[in-house]
Amino acid sequence: MSHTTDNLWQAIRDEVTTAAASEPMLASFLHMTVLRHKSFDDVLAFHLSSKLASATMDARALMELISEALQADPLIAAAARADIQAVRDRDPACKAFSTPLLFFKGYQALQCYRVAHWLWREGREALALHLQNRISEVFAVDIHPAARIGKGILLDHGTGFVVGETVVIDDNVSILQEVTLGGTGKESGDRHPKIRTGVLIGAGAKILGNIEIGTGAKVGAGSVVLEPVPPHVTVVGVPAHIVGNCDEAQPAQAMDHRIIEDQ
């Protein structure tokens, strides 16, 4: 993408320039992380690598790896951009485009997963699993690198999010903290949930088994979902049951947690 037409990158630079001027204690961090870089992709590679670095894998090696992934598959950066827009649009606590990139670990963990997923698809499974482990240690987000996750995802807070190997999450889904998309323990092979577009999953929900959560459905906080959920309904409870319809096309975007009673 041309730097002159990159509106997101320009908005992030402008926000960070203002923040650096108004908060001297953050100026050095903001300069190192954002202002000295030439593009959004460079910032992503620098910042994620500094988060994931460890005693046995340094930030420079990780930055080269992340840059390699971003160059090889432009869909990674496209998804990272769509995720920023999703957080900015849907999270009332997010007032700036730079905030998820700099400070929201759900967002950061998801972008690290995208690199691990690229490695997995490239057949570099051991390195993908190493990244999964580091992401889990650093962010408390444990996503199997084989799982498939679309773009425009709000992973709010991120803490305790667990995703199994055969999970599929379509575009424009919103997920709160402490959600598990796992197996029942009774199936093998393709054994994990499939989350369709526009779904909103409340904090602490556990969705277990190879079941589909239909387009535009809502899953209430703390639910244990063991059966497929039809499109555009709300389910709650342990085990979860249908309590109403969703009149929004995409509850993930509206982030309205109210239940609409059946008419």
Ligand X SMILES: CC(C)(COP(=O)(O)OP(=O)(O)OC[C@H]1O[C@@H](n2cnc3c(N)ncnc32)[C@H](O)[C@@H]1OP(=O)(O)O)[C@@H](O)C(=O)NCCC(=O)NCCS
User: By CB under 6 A, is residue 74 in contact with ligand X?
Assistant: no
CA 215 centroid distance within chain: 18
User: By CB under 6 A, is residue 162 in contact with ligand X?
Assistant: yes
Structure tokens at 5: 């037409």
Rounded Cα–Cα distance for residues 25 and 81 (Å)? 27
From 14, 54, 238, 262, residue interacting with ligand X (rule: CB under 6 A): 238
Q: Which residues, in sequence order, are CB contacts of 241 under 8 Å at separation 6+?
A: 235
Rounded Cα–Cα distance for residues 98 and 40 (Å)? 10
User: By CB under 6 A, is residue 224 in contact with ligand X?
Assistant: yes
User: By CB under 6 A, is residue 183 in contact with ligand X?
Assistant: yes
Which amino acid is it at 232?
H
User: By CB under 6 A, is residue 75 in contact with ligand X?
Assistant: no
User: By CB under 6 A, is residue 182 in contact with ligand X?
Assistant: yes
Smallest gap from Cβ 182 to ligand X, in A, equals 3
| Helices (H) then strands (E): counts for the chain | 9, 15
Rounded Cα–Cα distance for residues 106 and 100 (Å)? 8
Helix (H, G, I), strand (E, B) or coil at 232: coil
User: By CB under 6 A, is residue 189 in contact with ligand X?
Assistant: no
Taking contact as CB under 6 A, which single stretch among the options 29-37, 40-48, 75-83, 180-188 is the one that binds ligand X? 180-188
User: By CB under 6 A, is residue 208 in contact with ligand X?
Assistant: yes
Structure tokens at 112: 């690290």
Smallest gap from Cβ 226 to ligand X, in A, equals 5
User: By CB under 6 A, is residue 241 in contact with ligand X?
Assistant: no
From 20, 226, 243, 255, residue interacting with ligand X (rule: CB under 6 A): 226
Residue 145 or 164 with smaller CB distance to ligand X: 164
From 32, 61, 239, 256, residue interacting with ligand X (rule: CB under 6 A): 239
Relative orientation angle of helices 105-121 and 74-90, to the nearest 10 degrees: 160
Please report, as ranges, the residues that interact with ligand X according to CB under 6 A: 162, 164, 180, 182-186, 208, 224, 226, 238-239
